[in-house]
A = this chain, B = another copy of it.
């Protein structure tokens, strides 16, 4: 109280030099070591001494410096989180799940948005490494087994040698833990559902096929179509990139061509939106002119009562699981690689069927 006041006087409006452990020690008439023991509840401290120190700490609002603690303990209590586009609801939900667990475990999160850009991802990794984060949750921007940047990024990640959980976007032959989604199976299921609803000519707007997640969704769907005794025509495969604008363009072109599949599978939420935008603009009516099933749920559509069938997973849960898994890895660095597959759910609303 008194000290703070003095400092305020000295450098008004400047960065206030916060009170340090040394100050607390002096004010309480003990050594730094003792204050540290009080702080961490470690070792022997006489009850009276503890009280004395605690009073001083409270009175002066002592807050230990995380940098100093990290430096001397040789570890931080921050977790890195890296996602490709935070303005996609999917990652918002996931991040929410992560923050929930982080809050419980008193961890801080350092956050990066890589904007689907491999170079930004590399930069972010470097920064995270400087920060000496305790662990990392990574939703990669690129396919780590494929992309041109990949080998660099892999090297970087290996060099970091940090507890790591990959979320959402799998790559082949990765040594790291992961929380993924049954991309193949859910997409397979999407085909089945479209078939069961009576559609016989099926199409798909794919995601980015440079990503394994994109290929898996296409191949799962394709296999589903085949197993229904149908075939997936080449011209009914529209190669997208998981983003809205491209899906929109593809869909519009498709409708303008005048010839399209009875039913379409859209590979993620952004793709679905692009598709829906096009249907609206082209005067196409779902349930009359075309049927659709999407990957990813779009909560707003449900609220509005707009029928939109989908296969999806719990994004929120995905975030929670990811951080929990990371913590287990941190606890036990030697345990074998762990992969958790978030199960998919099917939500049928009628949009997968042509009724009119």
Per the bound structure, the CA–CA distance linking A14 and B74 in Å amounts to 13
Q: Which residues of A contact B (CB under 8 A)?
A: 4, 13-16, 18, 61, 63-71, 75-76, 78, 81, 85-89, 91-93, 95-96, 99, 103, 106, 108-113, 120, 123, 126-127, 129-132, 159, 161, 244, 273-274, 276-277, 280-281, 298, 300-301, 303-306, 316, 333-334
Distance between Cα atoms of A131 and B96 in the complex (Å): 21
Q: Is the CB of A300 within 8 A of B273?
A: yes
Residue of B nearest to A129 (CB): B63
Identify 7 residue pairs between A and B in the complex whose beta-carbon atoms are under 8 Å apart, listed by A's number: A63-B129, A67-B132, A86-B96, A87-B93, A103-B113, A106-B127, A298-B300
Specify how many copies of this chain sit in the oligomer. Answer: 2
Closest to A333 in B: B13
Look across to chain B and name the residue whose beta carbon is closest to the beta carbon of A109: B111
Q: Compute how far the CA of A131 lies from the CA of B65 in the bound complex, rounded to whole angstroms.
A: 6
A87 to B88, CA, bound (A): 10
Whether A108 contacts B108 by the Cβ 8 Å rule is: no
Min distance, Cβ A185 to any Cβ of chain B, angstroms:
26
In the complex, which residues of chain B have a beta carbon less than 8 angstroms from the beta carbon of A96? 85-87, 113
Contacting residues, chain B, for A18 (C-beta < 8 A): 132
User: A276-B303, A300-B298, A304-B277 given as contacts; is B108 within 8 A of A110 (CB)?
Assistant: yes
Residue of B nearest to A117 (CB): B103
Q: State the Cβ distance, A101 to closest chain B Cβ, in Å.
A: 11
| Contact assessment for A110 and B111 in the assembled complex, using a CB-CB cutoff below 8 Å | yes
Whether A303 touches B132, Cβ cut-off 8 Å, given contacts A13-B333, A78-B110, A87-B89, is no
Q: List B contacts of A85 (CB < 8 A).
A: 96
Nearest 10 interchain pairs by C-beta: A280-B305, A67-B70, A99-B113, A277-B303, A111-B111, A87-B96, A92-B92, A66-B130, A67-B67, A67-B71
